[in-house]
Amino acid sequence: PLNYDWPVLEHLELECCILDTRRISSSSLKVLHIIDCIIGNDLLIGARKLTHLSVIDPECRRGAIVTWDLSSLVSASLSLGSEFHYDDNTEVDHHLLDGLSHATTLELHAPLPELTFERGLQACPMFSNLTSLVLGDWCMAADFYPLFRIVHRPPMLKELTVKLKMEHCETRKEVESASLPSRQAPAIRGYPRIERIKICCSKDDPRIGTLVQALLPIFIPDGKISIEGY
C-alpha cells in the first residue's frame, strides 16, 4: 500500500514497477517520481504537501492516471510514450491534468497522436500560477489546436519551450489523417503575454518556420525567440 502506511515519508521513487494500487496519497510526501512503471488499474495521485511530481513513460494496461489535491505543487513533468494507451470510453482518463493547476513549472511530452492531454485540458482548471511551460511533439497538430489550447490556460505564463523530435515528424501527416473531432482554438486576445519562447529541434526540422509564425500572435513585441539545435 502506498497511502498512509509511511507517515513521515517525503521522497518516493518508483522505477520499473508494477503498480496495482489504486491510490498514492500521503500527508508527508513531497517528491514523487514514477518512471517506466506498469499501471494496472486507475491510479489516483493526491498529496497536499507534494511539491515535485514526475511521471515518465508509464504503461497503462487498464484504466488511467488521475491527479488531484496537489495544492503545494511547484513543478510537474509528464512524459507519455507509445505504451500509454488512450481509452476514449474511460471518463477518468480526462483528468490526468486536474491536480497540476497549482504548479509554476510544467513539462508535458508525448508523440503525436496524443488525445489524453487534449481531453484533459478541456476538463482541468486554469493553471493560475504557471510561469514556465515545456511542450513536446503532441502540441504540433496541423491546426495547432493543442498548442493554442494549453497556452490559453495559464494567465501568468512568461516562458514557453517547445522540444521537437525529428522521428515524430516523419509520421505526423499519416497520424493526422485519422478522424478527429471538429475544434477551434480560443481567441488570441485571451492569451498571456509571453516574454521568452525557445524552440529545441533538429536543424533540419521542416516545422520550425510554421511554428514560429503560429507563435508570433501570442508573443510580446520586445520579447525573445530562440532556436536551439540538438
Domain shared by 9 and 99, yes or no: yes
Which of 46-50, 93-97, 164-168, 173-177 has maximum average pLDDT?
A: 46-50
d(CA 67, CA 45): 5
Q: Please state the pTM of the whole predicted model.
A: 0.87
The percentage of residues in the chain with a pLDDT greater than 70, rounded to a whole number, is 81
Number of structural domains in the chain? 2
**Structural domain includes residue 161:** yes
Domain shared by 71 and 143, yes or no: no
Domain shared by 93 and 147, yes or no: no
Using alpha carbons, list the distances in angstroms from residue 203 to 22, 108, 160, 166: 43, 22, 19, 10
d(CA 195, CA 206): 24
**Structural domain includes residue 56:** yes
**Structural domain includes residue 142:** yes
- Among residues 205, 126, 5, which one has the least CA distance to residue 21? 5
Domain shared by 99 and 134, yes or no: no
Q: Give residue 173's pLDDT band: very low, low, confident or very high (50, 70, 90).
A: very low
Residue entry with cell 511551460: 133
Mean pLDDT, the chain, as a whole number? 83
Residue partners of 152: CB distance under 8 A and separation at least 6: 185, 186, 190, 191
**The C-alpha cell that represents 147 in the structure block:** 498548442
The pLDDT, as a whole number, for residue 106 is 98
The pLDDT, as a whole number, for residue 49 is 95
Say which range, 17-26, 134-143, 200-209, 213-222, has the weakest mean pLDDT.
213-222
Query: Mean pLDDT, to the nearest integer, of 213-230?
Result: 84
**Structural domain includes residue 180:** no
Domain shared by 153 and 60, yes or no: no
Domain shared by 38 and 83, yes or no: yes
Say yes or no to pLDDT of 91 above 70: no
User: Which residue range forms the structural domain that includes residue 67?
Assistant: 1-103
Other beta carbons within 10 angstroms of residue 160's beta carbon come to 24
d(CA 34, CA 95): 18
Q: How far is CA 116 from the centre of its chain?
A: 9
Domain shared by 14 and 92, yes or no: yes
Domain shared by 67 and 9, yes or no: yes
Handedness of CA 162, 164, 168, 170 (dihedral sign): positive
The percentage of residues in the chain with a pLDDT greater than 90, rounded to a whole number, is 44
